[in-house]
């Protein structure tokens, strides 16, 4: 494939976090671009983000998941990089002015994974067992099903989290299956939490490529990496969050599936202790994913979602 003619693009720099998973994601996009454009020079710019540095603080108390993307956006803004690759579940629903998601790639397994050394499934854990998770969304859904478990905050990159499990600091940890699979660690997964039991975060398992909105040549270059089905699903999921206030760190799950020309969207908002959960299950036209997201959000409002969110001491 020839390079876009609107600009002589010979070199593209990808901003990425330094974690092993983030580097894998950026390298994956680099390889995809190299396959499409063999003459294009694609380089990585690894950066440390505030979210990576705050290893002991809960994200909801430190500023939310947007802490993982701000430094990458700054590198694009000042010209050090042309684009950034993000895990879509970490991308705030409102992008800074002048930025756009130029492509959302095909989704990996969106489910949450149960990882333990002595137990094969969540149901096998005895009351009082310690479960680590970085997400209030996961914690709330686990607490609803297993109120006798001890849920503790688990921070750090994927390797750090697994090391804490192996040192015996936790009896089990809940991680995104997509990250484990991408790093060749699928063997650590003892079982998968089905969507009905642990609704994923909006965008979980999908990668997003962000760049300047005005850079049409770059957007044209990136466009072939987009997956239309994943794009529609993720847009519906993110619309739920946006309609409920736009905080990407609240205990909210949203997952859409394409069924022919229709989208099925399931969403929930939960109190952190799992005692109050509002759920919605809506189906709509796949060509209008944002409308479906708004409809699901309205169904959650009617079940008290805003009251649940208002009772949080701090947004997730």
Q: Which residues of 185-247 form beta strands (DSSP E)? A: 191-193, 207-212
- The number of beta carbons lying within 10 Å of the beta carbon of residue 214 is 10
β 252-259/262-270 pair status: antiparallel
Distances (CA, A) of 274 to 20, 65, 149, 270, 308: 32, 21, 12, 6, 11
Beta bridge partner(s), residue 42: 12
Distance spanning both ends of the chain, measured CA to CA: 43
Please state, in angstroms and rounded to a whole number, the distance separating the CA atoms of residues 132 and 48.
24
Residues annotated as catalytic (active site), given as ranges: 90
Please name the residues in contact with 99: beta carbons below 8 A apart, sequence gap of 6 or more. Answer: 73, 76, 210, 211, 212, 213
* Residue with token string 């430094």: 71
Are 270 and 277 in contact by the 8 Å Cβ rule? The answer is: yes
Are 16 and 26 in contact by the 8 Å Cβ rule? The answer is: yes
Are 235 and 246 in contact by the 8 Å Cβ rule? The answer is: no
């Amino acid at each position: 494939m020839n390079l876009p003619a609107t600009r002589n693009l010979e070199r593209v720099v990808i901003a990425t976090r330094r974690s092993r998973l983030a580097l894998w994601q950026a390298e994956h996009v680099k390889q995809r671009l190299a396959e499409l454009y063999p003459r294009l020079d694609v380089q990585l710019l690894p950066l440390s983000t505030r979210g990576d540095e705050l290893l002991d603080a809960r994200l909801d108390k430190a500023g939310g998941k947007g802490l993982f993307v701000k430094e990458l956006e700054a590198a694009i803004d000042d010209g050090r990089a042309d684009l950034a690759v993000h895990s879509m579940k970490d991308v705030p629903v409102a992008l800074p002015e002048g930025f756009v998601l130029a492509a959302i790639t095909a989704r990996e397994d969106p489910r949450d994974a149960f990882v333990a050394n002595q137990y094969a499934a969540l149901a096998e854990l005895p009351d009082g067992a310690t479960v680590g998770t970085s997400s209030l969304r996961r914690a709330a859904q686990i607490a609803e099903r297993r109120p006798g478990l001890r849920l503790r905050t688990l921070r750090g990159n994927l390797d750090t989290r697994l090391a804490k499990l192996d040192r015996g600091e936790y009896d089990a940890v809940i991680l995104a299956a997509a990250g484990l699979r991408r790093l060749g660690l699928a063997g650590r997964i003892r079982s998968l939490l089905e969507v009905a039991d642990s609704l994923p975060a909006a965008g979980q398992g999908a990668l997003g490529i962000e760049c300047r909105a005005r850079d049409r040549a770059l957007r044209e270059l990136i466009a072939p990496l987009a997956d239309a089905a994943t794009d529609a699903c993720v847009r519906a999921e993110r619309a739920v969050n946006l309609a409920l206030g736009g905080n990407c760190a609240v205990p909210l799950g949203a997952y859409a599936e394409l069924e022919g020309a229709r989208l099925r969207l399931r969403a929930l908002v939960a109190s952190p202790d799992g005692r109050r959960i509002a759920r919605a299950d809506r189906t709509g036209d796949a060509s209008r994913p944002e409308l479906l997201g708004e409809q699901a959000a309205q169904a959650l409002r009617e079940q008290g979602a805003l009251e649940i969110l208002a009772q949080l001491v701090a947004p997730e």
